[in-house]
Structure 1
Amino acid sequence: MKKYLKIGLFLLFLIVGYFGYTNYLKLELISGFSAKNLASAHFIDNRSQEVIEKSDNNFDVIGWATNEINESGKYATASVFGLKKRKAIYRPGLGATLIDGNFDITKPYEIPKRTKSNSKLPFPYGDVEPKDTVFANIDYVKLNQAVANAFDAKGENDKKTRSVLVIYKDKIIAEKYVDGFSKNSILLGWSMTKSITGTFFGILQKQGRFDIYKPAPVREWQNDDRKNITTNDLLHMNSGLEWDEHYDRVCDATQMLFQTEDMTRTQLLKPALFKPNAHWNYSSGTANLLSGILRKQFKTHQEYLDFWYSALIDKIGMSSMLIETDMAGNYVGSSYGWATTRDWSRLGLLYLHKGNWNGEQLFNPSWAKYVSTPTNTSNGRYGGQFWLNANGHLPDAPRDMYYCSGFQGQMVAIIPSKDLVIVRMGLKEEFDFNGLLSGIVGSLKK
């Protein structure tokens, strides 16, 4: 009996030890996520610590963190059971950055120059409140019911939708926000930022300054097989480079976002496991590598910072948008784009109109076709930094739909055949997008 008891205790010790060890490895990531998200949501969108902890940071093990905001110092800290304390600092123009002990907070830094349009035009080409427009071919009862169904009923907390915006023929036909949020709330798009990052290559291509089909300009790859990887391969997420992106464990993506100084180099340093254009593998590291490649297209860091706003963001009136930077000053092109729901929709409208914004062509119409055409290794699910519905993954949504997609269910859907742009922002990954999209599309009478 004592023998079996000893064996049982030993096994219990091993189990507890393994659980403690594996979760200890996560502590720095937990505190890093909590501090970063707390600083961003508070200083960018002015949310209270209580709201952030009960919503944005209230999932999985992130709730283990103990947090603190320092208003005068413009930073937030977090730790887990008193261990692995992390700090995120806020700097106007650059957003919140998770820093390590080697970061010099006294070092001068550059910020992007912004140009806010003073246009008196109504939304989307200006900021004047749009006039109500009634279309005879829309069943508004069905439309409003589809939008309402995306939100939790009173007392529920399952769907976790924060906003839904529906634009038809450039007119807002439905717009709804959960209590506590409004058209002025600035929301994190997470991986929808990848679609922003990819767009700059279309802009540079139109300007004759970049060829995506040439080998990617990465010096470290020139003496091995990686020299054959093109920027086109990177945009399609089929470079063949090693990458692990599974957020339920410590992986390449979490280490990059919460432990790395220069996020543009994490994917760059990975070996090739497959030939280019032969194996699709979703990689946030690739999006940040693309941000690094963009940085190399400019003589100065200031030009790189300014370009993102002058060539696209401010050009289409996304004045609320902020792309945050890493410790090395690179835009985190994989994940850290913030904007109001209406401003996120402007990106969708730009693509709906094939790069034309109120008469000015920002990228060639062929670029919209490029990003919405399936890469041959993604089973019809992915194009050029956009997700696709070409294989009917969402069976009741149009097959020509392509969309920006982000963690916890962020979406900007572009449906050319229906002249629709649909935005959903929220906090739940398993949201019923098929139901929302089919309900909205079904409200358009044939």
Structure 2
Amino acid sequence: MRTHHPSRILSVLATVLLCFACGSGEEGQAAVSDASDAAHVRGHIAGMAAHHICSGVFVVGRDYERSAEEVVAQDIRRFDIFKWQDDFAYAVNFETRTASVSGEDFGTRSAEYNGDQGCTVLPAGLEDVTFEPQVVERLSPDPAVTAWPTGDVDAYHDPPPAEVDMATLDAALDWTMAQSEHNTRALMVVYAGKVLGERYAPGFTRNTPQISWSQGKSIASTLVGAAIQAGHLDAGLDDPAPVPKWQGDGDPRRKIRIRDILNMSSGLDFVNLGWRDSLSWTHTDEHRRIYFEGIDVFEHAVNQPMDRAPGEIYRYRNSDPLTANRIVRQAVEARGENWLTYPQRILFDRIGARNYVLETDAWGNFIISGYDYGSAWDWGRFGLLHLWDGVWPTPDGGSDRILPEGWVEFVSTPAPGAELLNYGGLFWLNRGGALPRAPEDAFWAAGFMGQYTVIIPSHDLVIVRLGPSPGDINAYLSDIVGEVTAAIDR
């Protein structure tokens, strides 16, 4: 275990060859017309790298100490998609709790750690965030003396249910971890309400917060449902989205409903080019700018025109979950409540999730469509909430309806514009057979590079898988689900 002096500044030159052409043909070529464009692209690459170093050290590292060298080697440099470059210099300052990446042509891009708000990519011209960071108290009962699922006591099946072939299950879990190219760091199986099996890579535990990427979109949906159920958001799925900028006379965005936003079918013209397009690291890719540019993500999301009618077509766009979260923030602050602590109070405390970190931009907006961290047991509890139709068993033997009745049915029903039947209310679905070895009723929160919380009502099952995979992750997930379900004789 390393010991860092608070004032220590770690600065190491990284040496790895840049792969600009990660795709094939013209699509994989860097679109730079001059040195200025190239510098912007490199600066954007450095901005995301600074974030990953900051969060890898200060967020993931709160469970076990990680050095910047480890984070760069394990989380960035090994993956061509992040385009780490051989002349980047990086540093971590433990006194100011910042990480920076520098290059001669673009200067320095930095990310700042703000405690329970995680790490924020600082925009050019700002040396600090513009909001007052808040301590997010975890107010769930002590897990060491509180029964599962809110606490940790009696969390495991003992003995396992008779219908479970534990030898087959253990073989499935061991096989999952043995696929080294997929870098699985946490694997958890919850069956019939309790933990049936789990595996963790060295250095990671059931409570280690790991980057969960777009699993956060499902958190955004859940926060909308919880706010509606609590009466904090005075709106329903079919009400117009209460976004002030959309309410002008003749503005077609007035017709966008909350349902359309959660179905990723708002119709907003929000460009998503994919990670391997020639313009992925430029201003043109509106979907990805939120990860590397240090912009106000909520304003970026709602200040977009429409190019399709609401509900007409499902398109995977960060604009919609960010808008959903903006709507909740607006309602919460109108009540005089603190936004930065709200997700913990309204959702996470109530299900015993103690390790979530929702990171923000410099204006205190959660970048909930990608920069969110949660542990395996956090996500297991999140999955159980949806398996149990939004009702949570309380430690006193009662129950707590956190999500409105019918909410889970909504999020697990295909959006009208999802022709492949693969997307619902900010959750992915198996109605169209996206995972051939999974039951048809499976639905899941999914994040970049293979972050998954799979809910399978027909099997009373939740499967959590975390870790950065560069491979064919859907085939891998399908096999994981197939191997696990094969161990349970229904």
TM-score computed with the length of structure 1 as normaliser: 0.91
State the shift of 1:129 in Å. 6.0
Q: Does structure 2 retain, via aligned residues, the 8 Å contact 1:67–1:77?
A: yes
Range that drifts further, 276-285 or 22-31: 22-31
Letter in 2 for 1:50: E
Deviating 4+ runs (over 6 angstroms): none
The reply to whether residue 381 of structure 1 matches residue 415 of structure 2 is: no
Give secondary structure in 2 for the equivalent of 1:403. strand
CA 1:303–1:16 in structure 2 vs 1: closer, same or farther (change >3 Å)? closer
Q: Choose which of 125, 141, 149 in structure 1 pairs with 2:167.
A: 141
Q: Would the aligned equivalents of 2:51 and 2:121 in 1 still touch at CA under 8 Å?
A: yes
**1:104 Cα shift?**
5.1
**Structure 1: which 5+ runs fail to align?**
1-14
Find the partner of 1:247 among 261, 267, 275.
275
- Are residues 102 and 396 of structure 1, via their aligned partners in 2, closer, same or farther at CA, if it must alter by over 3 Å? same
Does residue 201 of structure 1 match 2:201?
A: no
Secondary structure of the structure 1 residue equivalent to 2:119: strand
Alignment check: 8 A CA contact 1:201 1:212 kept: no
CA distance in 2, matches of 1:20, 1:106: 32
Match of 1:30, as an amino acid? Answer: I
Report the count of equivalent residues: 429
- Give the drift of 1:295: 1.1
Instruction: Select 2:463's aligned residue among 418, 422, 442.
Output: 422
* Equivalent residue in structure 1 for 2:178, among 152, 162, 179: 152
2: CA distance, partners of 1:307 / 1:174: 32
Match of 1:39 among 54, 57, 66: 54
Say yes or no: does 1:408 pair with 2:423: no
Matched to 2:435, the amino acid is: L
Structure 1 residues 250-269: aligned runs within 5 Å:
250=281, 251-269=285-303
Q: Partner amino acid for 2:123? A: D
Q: Specify the alignment match of 1:55 in structure 2.
A: 74
Q: Secondary structure at the match of 1:72?
A: coil
The secondary structure found in structure 2 opposite 1:165 is strand
1:142/1:18 CA distance change after superposition, 3 Å:
same
1:116 to partner: Cα distance: 3.6
RMSD: 2.1
Inter-CA distance 112–23: structure 2 relative to 1 (3 Å threshold): same
- Partners in 2 of 1:371 and 1:57 — Cα distance? 33
Structure 2: which amino acid aligns with 1:292? Answer: R
The counterpart of 2:401, out of the listed 361, 365, 376, is: 361
Give the unaligned 5+ runs of structure 2: 1-28, 394-398
- Secondary structure of the residue aligned to 1:267 is helix
Secondary structure at the aligned position of 1:149 is classed as helix
Cα deviations by residue, 1:134-160 (Å, 9 ceiling, x for unpaired): 11111112111111111236xxx4121
Query: Deviation per CA, 1:52-87, whole angstroms, max 9, x where unpaired?
Result: 111111212432243211011100001346634211
Separation in 1, partners of 2:480, 2:129: 48
Q: Which deviates more, 66-75 or 208-217?
A: 208-217
Deviation at 1:412, TM superposition (A): 0.1
Residue 13 of structure 2 corresponds to: none
* Aligned partner letter, 1:217: P
In 2, Cα distance between the equivalents of 1:117 and 1:17?
A: 53
The change in CA–CA distance for 1:356 and 1:18 in structure 2 (over 3 A counts) is: closer
1:343 aligns with 2:394: no
Aligned partner letter, 1:247: W
Tell me which residue corresponds to 2:19: none
Identical amino acids, percent of aligned pairs: 28
The Cα shift of 1:368 comes to 0.6
Cα distance, 1:104–1:210 mapped onto 2, change above 3 Å: farther
**How many Å apart are 1:267 and its aligned residue?**
2.3
Query: Equivalent residue of 2:462, what SS?
Result: strand
| Structure 2 CA distance for aligned equivalents of residues 20 and 66 of structure 1 | 23
Provide the rounded CA distance (Å) in 2 between the counterparts of 1:202 and 1:17: 41
Q: Is the 8 A contact 2:150 2:350 kept in 1?
A: no
Report which stretch shifted further, 45-54 or 377-386.
45-54
Q: CA contact under 8 A between 2:208 and 2:355: conserved in structure 1?
A: no
Shift of 1:226: 1.2
The 3-state SS of whatever aligns with 1:57 is helix
Match of 2:351, SS state, is: coil
Between 1:85-94 and 1:202-211, the stretch displaced more is 202-211
Q: Does 1:434 align with 2:484?
A: no
**Cα pair distance change 1:146/1:16, threshold 3 Å:** closer
Structure 1 stretch 115-124 or stretch 69-78: which is displaced more?
115-124
Asked if the contact 2:121–2:294 (Cα under 8 Å) also holds between the matched residues in 1, the reply is: no
Indicate the residue corresponding to 1:117 in structure 2: 141
Q: CA deviation at 1:112?
A: 5.1
What are the Cα deviations for residues 277-333 of structure 1, in whole angstroms up to 9, with x where unaligned?
112111112211211111110226752223211110111111111111111111112
Q: Distance in 1 between matches of 2:368 and 2:84?
A: 26
- Residue 25 of structure 2 is matched in structure 1 by none
Q: Is the 8 A contact 1:264 1:292 kept in 2?
A: yes
My pick for the range that moved more, 276-285 or 106-115, is 106-115
- Whether the aligned pair in 2 keeps the contact of 1:35 and 1:76 (CA below 8 Å) is yes
Please, which moves more after superposition, 407-416 or 195-204?
A: 195-204
Distance 1:23 1:405, change over 3 A: farther
Shift of 1:172: 1.1
2:256 matched to 1:229? yes
Are residues 77 and 137 of structure 1, via their aligned partners in 2, closer, same or farther at CA, if it must alter by over 3 Å? Answer: same
Letter in 2 for 1:33: M
TM-score, normalising length: structure 2: 0.83
